[in-house]
């Protein structure tokens, strides 16, 4: 029989269950509090200060940060950079010892050719005709006034400011020149560089009124010859070319500019010297001649490691070595010739004005006397180990370019005791010239008298009227007048008898310090 459960018994059972649950909850709560205090006690032992309770932390301050727009950084202005001296580097490429070079001819008879001429089919015929006429030297462009080098520089990571227009492999060009038995000379324009001046204005000459100095406003062309960054780049180019199989490297425009408002020019070396003079009152400030001499010395150190010859072109007027001319160009023959194998005065009678104080008065068309006298002065001022080899005119601008004109130049070169000559034609057009050179060489070998000379050239120097001292270039350290100078043209289109890029002489007021010569480079 099932036992009957009374209501009061159910109440007691329910109460017991409730008490058990309450007891269990209290136990769990008490254990949690004990664990919390234990953890806090452990943290207190590890740190000097008690832990920060959540209730004590203030609500963080929310700051709205505006979104920053990405903008290009402003261009670096050299004038705002703290001025410091830059060093000329002395590390160059490894010298290759497997190159065989030709020695310079005893009497150099050369032609200048453009880089583009070497890529034309007519180059071979020119070499053949040149060989038959007695020519033994070819000067070809590797870097021109525009600033391009004509070989690939994709692997030349050290070149930072150079632009390339690769049209040939130098070794291939030299191999062809050598195959005709010719001496190969690589011409490299130095401080005149349109491309680099345009794209890297920080390498230009500074203007004391702000910005950069330019020979012609709006036409960047000249780099600062005294800036080591400029020099380092050129030394690297020379090192690369010297590692090829060229026999000689020829420096052109290795000078300071002489045209334009030179009174506003600020050269790097003068800023350096001004700082050093403040620190040392006995410090001797340098002149332009010191900069050019030291640079040429650096070049000589590079080419010597490759056993390559080195030469340089100079202004014709510099042959007289008057102090004002030296200080304007920096071309001191006695200094730079110490580090050169060959020196090339560029003597073109067409680039002198008729009132240059030379006798006879028609020397522009009959150049024997001016070429001879200029070469005499250059030889006298040059180091005995440096051969003088002039650039002679092979174009008809302003002159009657005839056999007599060519013979006058050649005879003056021989009479001055020079080591040869190089003909210059901007278009590399030498058809007539080579015919006359061939006739000249045949007559010299046979010991016969040549017809066609300007008769006055047959007279001795004693028979000629006395030569008045030539006027000089503007002393740009003290004046800012512009000398009447223009550069020899590079390439011309059409008739090479009238170079398209040669500008007429500048109109200037009479001044005893301004030369009557139109400069040639």
Closest CA to 409 of 357, 448, 374, 358: 374
Mind giving me the DSSP string for 404-446?
HHHHHHHHHHHHTT-SEEEEE-TT---HHHHHHHHHHHHHHHH
Q: What is the pLDDT of residue 99?
A: 76
- Rg of the chain over Cα atoms, rounded to whole angstroms, equals 40
- The whole-angstrom separation of Cα 161 and Cα 233 is 7
Q: Which residue has the higher pLDDT, 499 or 330?
A: 330
Q: What is the pLDDT of residue 81?
A: 37
Average pLDDT over residues 408-436: 95
User: What kind and span of H or E run contains 111?
Assistant: strand 108-113
Cβ neighbors of 133 (< 8 A, separation 6 or more) are 434, 435, 437, 438, 441
Confidence band (pLDDT; 50, 70, 90) for 449? low
**Are the C-beta atoms of residues 66 and 276 closer than 8 Å to each other?**
no
pLDDT > 80? residue 149: yes
Confidence band (pLDDT; 50, 70, 90) for 362? confident
Confidence band (pLDDT; 50, 70, 90) for 459? very low
pLDDT > 70? residue 460: no
- The whole-angstrom separation of Cα 150 and Cα 335 is 31
β-pairing, 206-207 with 265-266? antiparallel
- The whole-angstrom separation of Cα 210 and Cα 82 is 16
SS3 250: strand
Residue labelled with tokens 């401080």? 191
β-pairing, 265-266 with 108-113? unpaired
Sign of the C-alpha dihedral computed for residues 165, 200, 292 and 231 taken in this order: negative
> Which tokens go with 115?
């880089």
Q: What is the pLDDT of residue 33?
A: 62
Q: What is the pLDDT of residue 185?
A: 98
Tally DSSP H helices, then E strands, for the chain. 12, 13
Q: What is the pLDDT of residue 24?
A: 72
pLDDT > 60? residue 146: yes
| C-alpha pair distances (Å), 4 with each of 8, 10, 16, 514 | 12, 11, 20, 144
- The whole-angstrom separation of Cα 301 and Cα 307 is 10
Instruction: For the beta carbon of residue 451, count every other beta carbon within 10 angstroms.
Output: 10
Strand positions, DSSP E, 15-106: none
**Are the C-beta atoms of residues 489 and 501 closer than 8 Å to each other?**
yes
Q: What is the pLDDT of residues 374-414, one digit of tens each?
A: 999 999 999 999 999 999 999 988 888 999 999 999 999 99
- The whole-angstrom separation of Cα 204 and Cα 266 is 10
**Are the C-beta atoms of residues 201 and 70 closer than 8 Å to each other?**
no
> Which tokens go with 515?
């030369």
> Which tokens go with 134?
């007695």
Query: Taking each helix axis from N to C terminus, what angle separates 122-133 and 170-179, rounded to the nearest 10 degrees?
Result: 40
Residue labelled with tokens 């240059």? 356
Instruction: For the beta carbon of residue 281, count every other beta carbon within 10 angstroms.
Output: 6
Which has the minimum average pLDDT: 14-28, 265-279, 328-342, 506-520? 506-520
Q: What is the pLDDT of residue 58?
A: 43
Closest CA to 329 of 318, 316, 343, 313: 318
Sign of the C-alpha dihedral computed for residues 224, 229, 232 and 237 taken in this order: negative
**Are the C-beta atoms of residues 445 and 133 closer than 8 Å to each other?**
no
SS3 296: helix
Burial grade of 153 (CB within 10 A; 0-12, 13-18, 19 or more): middle
Instruction: For the beta carbon of residue 116, count every other beta carbon within 10 angstroms.
Output: 16
Give the rounded distance of the alpha carbon of 352 from its chain centre: 27
Q: What is the pLDDT of residues 275-305, one digit of tens each?
A: 999 999 999 999 999 999 999 999 999 999 9
């Amino acid at each position: 029989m099932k036992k009957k459960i009374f209501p009061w018994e159910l109440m007691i059972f329910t109460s017991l269950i409730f008490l058990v649950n309450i007891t269990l909850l209290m136990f769990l709560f008490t254990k949690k509090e004990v664990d919390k205090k234990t953890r806090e006690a452990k943290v207190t032992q590890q740190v000097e200060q008690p832990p920060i309770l959540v209730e004590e932390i203030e609500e963080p301050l929310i700051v709205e940060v505006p979104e920053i727009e990405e903008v290009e950084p402003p261009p670096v202005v050299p004038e705002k950079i703290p001025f410091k001296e830059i060093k000329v580097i002395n590390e160059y490429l490894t010298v290759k010892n497997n190159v065989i070079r030709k020695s310079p001819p005893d009497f150099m008879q050369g032609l200048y050719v453009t880089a583009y001429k070497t890529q034309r089919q007519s180059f071979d015929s020119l070499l053949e005709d040149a060989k038959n006429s007695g020519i033994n030297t070819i000067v070809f462009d590797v870097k021109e006034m525009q600033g391009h080098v004509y070989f690939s520089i994709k692997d030349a990571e050290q070149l930072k400011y150079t632009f390339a227009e690769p049209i040939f492999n130098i070794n291939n060009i030299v191999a062809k020149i050598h195959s005709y038995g010719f001496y190969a000379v690589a011409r490299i324009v130095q401080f005149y560089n349109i491309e680099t001046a345009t794209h890297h204005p920080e390498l230009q000459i500074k203007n004391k009124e702000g910005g950069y100095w330019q020979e012609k406003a709006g036409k960047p062309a000249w780099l600062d010859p005294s800036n080591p960054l400029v020099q380092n780049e050129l030394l690297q180019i020379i090192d690369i070319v010297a590692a090829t199989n060229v026999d000689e490297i020829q420096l052109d425009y290795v000078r300071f500019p002489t045209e334009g408002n030179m009174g506003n020019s600020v050269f790097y070396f003068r800023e350096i010297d001004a700082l050093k003079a403040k620190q040392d009152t006995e410090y001797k400030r340098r002149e332009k001649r010191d900069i050019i001499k030291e640079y040429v010395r650096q070049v000589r150190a590079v080419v010597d490691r490759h056993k390559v010859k080195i030469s340089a072109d100079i202004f014709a007027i510099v042959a007289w070595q008057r102090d004002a001319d030296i200080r304007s160009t920096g071309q001191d023959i006695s200094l730079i010739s110490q580090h050169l194998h060959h020196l090339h005065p560029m003597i073109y009678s067409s680039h002198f004005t008729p009132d240059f104080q030379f006798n006879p008065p028609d020397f522009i068309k009959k150049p024997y006397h001016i070429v001879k006298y200029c070469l005499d002065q250059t030889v006298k001022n040059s180091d005995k180990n440096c051969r003088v080899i002039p650039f002679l005119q092979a174009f008809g601008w302003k002159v009657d370019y005839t056999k007599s004109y060519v013979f006058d130049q050649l005879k003056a070169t021989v009479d001055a005791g020079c080591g040869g000559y190089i003909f210059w034609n901007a278009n590399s057009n030498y058809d007539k010239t080579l015919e006359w050179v061939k006739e000249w060489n045949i007559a010299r070998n046979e010991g016969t008298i040549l017809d066609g000379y300007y008769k006055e050239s047959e007279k001795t120097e004693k028979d000629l009227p006395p030569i008045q001292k030539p006027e000089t270039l503007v002393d740009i350290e003290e004046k800012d007048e512009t000398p009447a100078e223009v550069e020899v043209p590079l390439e011309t289109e059409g008739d090479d008898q009238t170079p398209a890029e040669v500008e007429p002489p500048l109109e200037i007021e009479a001044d005893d310090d301004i030369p009557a010569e139109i400069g040639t480079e």
